Amino acid sequence: MIHMRPFNSFEKKNIEYLVNHNIPFTQVQITATGLKKAILDATAPMRAYFKENNVHDYAIQQKGQENKVSKPTFIHTRSKVIKTTTSLYRPETKDGDPRLWIYGLKEATEANDIHAIIAFSPNELHVVNLSKEDIRCCCETDVVNPLRDLILSISDVADTISRELLGKLMKYRNEWIIAPADIFFT
């Protein structure tokens, strides 16, 4: 079961902006305990997102430190990008429940903040604090900033894919349409 507090109105606006701009993401709430212990649970939706985006498959990962996987990670704010690493692992204890930790996260979060984790490529993760960063404001300004660059880059890729798919659908639509005169009724 996923235990996450409800989104506040600010976070909802950020999520809406990401969804409306075709930005696939998963989210995580940073609990006080998780922040203190530097441990986050990899929830079922997060594990599914990582697997679907070829980032990581916890189902085939063995337990223990020697099987830990590290991914380059970028924590985005309006004014800077923190280059760091995310550790994906299954500990020997607690039945090997899937875990992760984003190094450097403590300087970009507080307990109970909710973050979006974006896999722009299988080899790197991008993290945005949905509780603190005003994504719309960052993206709709003429001022270049790291968060705007990330969101617009991903959105451009998604739009290109959508336009390509729409073009293919339009190309073949006439083959799928059956004229009423061609339908034989008995």
Q: Say how far apart CA 97 and CA 99 lie, in whole Å.
A: 6
The pLDDT value recorded for residue 150 is 86
Residue 155 pLDDT > 90: no
Q: Which amino acid is it at 90?
A: R
The pLDDT value recorded for residue 156 is 61
Residue pLDDT, tens place only, 101-112: 999 999 899 999
Residue 22 pLDDT > 60: yes
How many angstroms from the chain centroid is the CA of residue 120? 8
The pLDDT value recorded for residue 32 is 94
Residue 91's pLDDT band (cuts 50, 70, 90):
very high
Residue 147 pLDDT > 60: yes
Residue 158 pLDDT > 50: no
User: Between residues 12 and 79, which one has the greater pLDDT?
Assistant: 12
Q: What percent of the chain has pLDDT over 70?
A: 81
Residue pLDDT, tens place only, 30-46: 999 999 999 999 999 99
Helix/strand/coil percentages in the chain, nearest 5: 40, 20, 35
Residue pLDDT, tens place only, 161-183: 555 555 555 666 666 665 555 55
Residue 152 pLDDT > 90: no
How many angstroms from the chain centroid is the CA of residue 82? 17
Residue 185's pLDDT band (cuts 50, 70, 90):
low
Query: Which candidate, 20, 24, 26, 17, places its Cα nearest to that of 136?
Result: 17
CB atoms within 10 A of CB 186: 2
Q: Say how far apart CA 77 and CA 135 lie, in whole Å.
A: 9
How many angstroms from the chain centroid is the CA of residue 47? 11
